Chains A and B, each alone.
Chain A
Amino acid sequence: MLWKHKINNFPLLHFYTFFEFTVLILFFSHLKPGRFSNKQMVFTTLLFLVICLIDAFVTGSIYTFNTYSRTTESLVIILLCLSWFINTTPLQTRNAKKSPPGSDHMVRGFLIYFSGALVFFAFGELIDHMRFSWRLNLWSIHSFLVFQLHIFILIGLWKAQIR
C-alpha cells in the first residue's frame, strides 16, 4: 500500500523485525530448548531491541534496510532452531525433550527460511542499490522462502489441531 503511494515503508520493517523476533522468542521459550532459559530469552530480546534501535538511529536510518538487526535475528533464530534439534531429536536421545505436536514442522520451516534468507538480509542494503529487475529476482527468491515457511507453519498448526 505504502509502496504504491510512493511512501518509504522501511520504518514498518524496523518495527516488524522486532515484533517478529519477540514472537519467535516466545515460541522458542514455549518449546524450552535445553540450552536457553527463560531469563536468557528475555535478556536476548532486550539486547535485540538495543541492536534494532542502534540500527535504526545510529549506524543506519529508519528509512533504509535494517541489515544488522535482520541478520542478527536470522543468526539467533538459526541457533535456536539448531539447539532445538539437538535437544529434541535423537541426536541426544538421553536428554531428548518432548515438544508440543506440530512444533517440529514449524522449527524446520524457520531453519530453512532464515538460513536461505540470511544472505539477503546481510546484503539487504546493497541489494537495494541494484537495478530493479535484479532486486525483483532476489526478493522473489526470498518470497519463495517465505512461502515454504508458511507451508511448514500450516502443516505444524494442522498437526497440532489433529493431536
Chain B
Amino acid sequence: MESTDQVKLYFAIMSVSLALTLIAGGFLIATFRLGKSVLHKKRALLKLNVKHEKELLFNSIQTAEAEREQLARDLHDETGNIFTTLSLSINQLKNENNLPDETVAGSIKLIQSGIESIRRISHALLPFELELLGLEETLKSHFTSIASLSGISVLFKVDADLSQFNKRCRIAIYRICQELMSNCIKHAKANEVSIIITTGHNTVVMDYRDNGRGMGAENLGSGLGLKNIKDRVSFMNGSLNCIPCPGSGFNFSISIPLHKNTVYD
C-alpha cells in the first residue's frame, strides 16, 4: 500500500513538474510573441507617422507654391494692367486738360517704376521662364542676374538633362538655388560660387561650393533657410550632404533620385 502511494506520488511529482515547466515555457513563448507583435505594430506606426509627416510637408510645399503662383499671376495680370490703364488715362487727361508736361512725365515715371516693381516681385514669386525656357536656362538667367547685381563670380555647369524633371521638382530645384544664393549673399560673404549639376546612377547630383566664411557644425540645421532646403530635398525624396568647414567656404551636395521625380512618373 505504501509502495502504491509512493508510485502515485512519484508520477504526480514528475507530471506536475513537467506541467509547470511547460506552463512557464508557454508563458515565455507567449510574451516573446506578444513582444514581437507589439514591436511590429510600433514599427508600422512609426512608418505611418513618417509617411504622414512627409505628406504634410508635401502638401505645405504644394500649397505654398500654389499660393505664390496665384499671387504672382494676380500681381502680374491685375495690378500690372491697372497701372497700364492708369498710364493711358493720365495721357488722356493731359490731352484733354492741357496739363503741364513735367507733372505728367513725373506721374508716368512713377507708374513705370510701379510696373517694374510688380514685374520683379511676380518673377521672384514665380519664374515664368521655368515654363517657357526650362530649368537650365532659368537658373542661368538667375545666376547671371545675381552675378551682375552682387559682383559674385558664379560658375554654373550642367552635365545632366534637367528637362526630364517634373514641374514640382523643377520649382523645388529652383527654390533651393535661390535659397543658396540668398544665403551666400547674406551670410557667407563669398565672391566665388560654383554650382555643378551632374548625372549619377539614376540620380542627378548638384554640388554647390563657395569661398565664403563657411559654417560650423553647430550652426547646421539652426537656420530657416537650410531647413527650407532640407524640406525641399525631402520633398523630392533626395538626400543632402552638407560638409561644415568654418572659415574655408561651404560645400553642399544634393542627390535627387530620378524615380518619381520625372515627367514620366
Chain A contact residues, CB within 8 Å of chain B:
85, 89-91, 93, 108, 111-112, 115-120, 123, 126-127, 130-131, 134, 137-138, 141, 145
**Nearest-neighbor residue (CB-CB) of A74 within chain B:** B20
Closest to B24 in A: A115
Flag if A89 contacts B27 (CB, 8 Å).
no
- Point out the residue from B9, B18, B20, B27 that lies within 8 Å of A123, measured CB to CB: B9
Q: Would you call A115 and B13 a contact (CB within 8 A)? A: no
Hey, which chain A residues are within 8 Å of B132, CB to CB? none
The total number of A-B Cβ pairs within 8 Å is 57
Cβ distance B7 to chain A, nearest Cβ, rounded Å: 9
- Chief secondary structure at chain B's binding surface: helix
B200 interface residue per 8 A CB criterion: no
B256 CB to closest chain A CB, in angstroms?
39
Q: Which residues of B contact A138 (CB under 8 A)?
A: 10, 13-14
A-B contact pairs, 15 of them (CB 8 A): A85-B31, A108-B28, A112-B25, A116-B18, A116-B20, A116-B21, A116-B24, A117-B17, A120-B13, A120-B17, A123-B9, A126-B9, A130-B6, A134-B6, A138-B14
Query: In whole angstroms, what is the CA distance A85 to B27 when docked?
Result: 10
For the complex formed, measure the closest distance between the CB of A27 and the CB atoms of chain B, giving whole angstroms: 18
- In the complex, besides A111-B24, A111-B28, A130-B9, 12 extra interface pairs with C-beta distance below 8 angstroms are A85-B31, A90-B35, A90-B39, A111-B27, A112-B25, A115-B21, A116-B17, A116-B21, A117-B17, A119-B17, A123-B9, A123-B13
Interface residue B224 (Cβ < 8 Å from any Cβ of A): no
Residue pair B34, A89 in contact (C-beta under 8 Å): yes
A108 vs B21: C-alpha distance in the bound complex, in angstroms? 11
Let me know if B56 is at the binding interface, CB within 8 A.
no
Q: Which residues of B have CB within 8 Å of A127?
A: 13
B-side interface size class: 20 to 34
Task: Point out the residues of chain A lying under 8 angstroms from B27, CB to CB.
Answer: 85, 111
Contacts of A145 in B (CB 8 A): 21
A contact residues around B16 at 8 Å (CB): 119
B160 to chain A, nearest CB (A): 46
Question: Shortest beta-carbon distance, A91 to chain B, in Å?
Answer: 7
Cα A30 to Cα B31 in complex, Å, equals: 22
Q: How far is the CA of A111 from the CA of B29 in the complex (A)?
A: 12
The residues of A that contact B18 with a CB separation of less than 8 Å are 116
What is the bound-complex CA distance between A67 and B13, given in angstroms? 14
Q: Does B38 contact A (CB under 8 A)?
A: yes
Cα separation A119 to B16 with both chains bound (whole Å): 7
